[in-house]
Structure 1
């Protein structure tokens, strides 16, 4: 008799249930579907880095330090527009830069200035939206009223053709000079009737009109240069009327190349300029001297065309 313990017979292996496998596969499929949905949602979301496409718009100006630019940039950023402000030290630089494609828009000039440039440089820059009209004032550090300015005194005026002509018209309206045949938007110092005028003029670069106050009896100074120099606009001795019909040539505008005049992004920037937050900042910057203007693009082009015809005829 053997003392070995007989082996215990092994039980047959229990069949595996398929239920767990099916559940596991189901969970995996659901996870894949959820992940795919999340990816689609993220791609479609406006806040997604993949969905948000930013368009850069370079705008040239001579008043790059003006606070309203920050307000306009913030508003544009919400619409996916990155405004880059490109500063220029004087009026002669921003139009050539736009024509050559260095910038996309500019905002510094009125329609008369644009007409002069287009004709002189055989360019086709066009206004796409109006902004404002700013009066052109006469300032003095030496006299408190126009009537105090003595005969024979010298007044500094901008020497660029359009602002120079407007300055001469302002001095005529102030009864300090008389222009032959009444003058025009193309007047030059040669049109002054010296024998019938109280003062003479000193044409200087527009950026130098404010410094010229130190040596001249007075100066016609564009608003942006006056503000930069810390001059209080309310201290002006005289200025033209920005609401008059004669002010149309001096409507300031966003300007683009002709091929871009219907560019939706550029037009959106111009539209945002006329929102309340931006307009409030613009008026505050001008110390409420600016007069806001909203004229249709077609009107601006019509005014520009008329001014260009006048310039060409004079040439």
Structure 2
């Protein structure tokens, strides 16, 4: 067999050499840029934070991301399908912080899971209101009249606390987020009856007043402005229902997370978006973290005593 002579490639043109050199140079520049910018594609000087919520489609979360970016915080809003997911995700380090729950929910989670997630700031409380088609003020409700409240545990307790704040009833031991009809003192001004939440509006023609969940107010042909009285966000009894930002206990003093709370509370575009989604019923509140922690510990103790 004849020996195969290897083919020798013709020399590359200078043009080809310059193209290769340019490509290499561009790759080096891109590599340097990415190294400076960070592997997670976060701009230089920006602090990356993963925030878990339920309902990321609400437009004000996009506004919140934009407002945070002005403070060099790159917020990635992570959407969760249900309330059971964001707290474990914070505990396990999958996300840094969440905002979806009120204090009662967090207390229940901590107790049942032997966890210690911490509330670093308040966002808003969505008021629960007392409505009537017979009177136009709480003072006009007569002694001995009947007032209706929802029969589900969480809303019933909250409704009873509202009636107590309005001076219509007294609750044993001052009441708690777990009060029931059995805790209504005999000396109370009115009688209290419990009905399913969706039936409270239909009771209005037959009773003096009814506490109606926000979900059913407009469906009953009422407006939120029709309420005789609502939760007072400044009343200590309402604090367990304040929505909060929560983090791992070890992160409670983190300056970036604290800054996110300030942005949420003080950014008018964010607040305007929140109000739009809530039908102007949300009340943004600024409760210091130590007060939130105190309320959390009180509720946790009450849950443990159940």
TM-score (norm 1): 0.64
Per-residue deviation at 1:236? Answer: 0.6
Q: How does 1:230-245 map to 2 (within 5 A)?
A: 232-245=223-236
Tell me how many residue pairs correspond in the alignment: 279
**For the residues of structure 1 that align with 2:171 and 2:40, how far apart are their CA atoms?**
63
Q: Does 1:293 align with 2:285?
A: yes
Q: Does 1:39 align with 2:39?
A: no
Q: Contact conserved, 1:108 with 1:252, CA < 8 A, in 2?
A: yes
Per-residue deviation at 1:84? Answer: 3.5
Q: Does 1:81 align with 2:75?
A: yes
TM-score (norm 2): 0.66
Alpha-carbon RMSD = 4.5
Q: Contact conserved, 1:112 with 1:249, CA < 8 A, in 2?
A: yes
**For the residues of structure 2 that align with 1:143 and 1:174, how far apart are their CA atoms?**
15
Q: 1:149 to 1:85 in 2, by over 3 A?
A: farther
**For the residues of structure 2 that align with 1:211 and 1:269, how far apart are their CA atoms?**
40
**For the residues of structure 2 that align with 1:153 and 1:272, how far apart are their CA atoms?**
44
Higher-Rg structure is 1
Query: What residue is the counterpart of 1:171 in the other structure?
Result: 163
Q: 1:116 to 1:229 in 2, by over 3 A?
A: farther
Q: How does 1:12-27 map to 2 (within 5 A)?
A: none
Q: How does 1:105-124 map to 2 (within 5 A)?
A: 106-119=98-111, 122-124=114-116
Q: Contact conserved, 1:99 with 1:257, CA < 8 A, in 2?
A: no
Q: Contact conserved, 2:149 with 2:193, CA < 8 A, in 1?
A: yes
Q: Contact conserved, 1:119 with 1:308, CA < 8 A, in 2?
A: yes
**For the residues of structure 1 that align with 2:253 and 2:21, how far apart are their CA atoms?**
48
Query: What residue is the counterpart of 1:9 in the other structure?
Result: none
**For the residues of structure 2 that align with 1:183 and 1:50, how far apart are their CA atoms?**
49
Per-residue deviation at 1:222? Answer: 4.8
Per-residue deviation at 1:70? Answer: 4.3
Query: What residue is the counterpart of 1:213 in the other structure?
Result: 201
Query: What residue is the counterpart of 2:130 in the other structure?
Result: 138
**For the residues of structure 1 that align with 2:75 and 2:271, how far apart are their CA atoms?**
19
Q: Contact conserved, 2:175 with 2:183, CA < 8 A, in 1?
A: yes
Gaps of 5+ in 2: 1-13
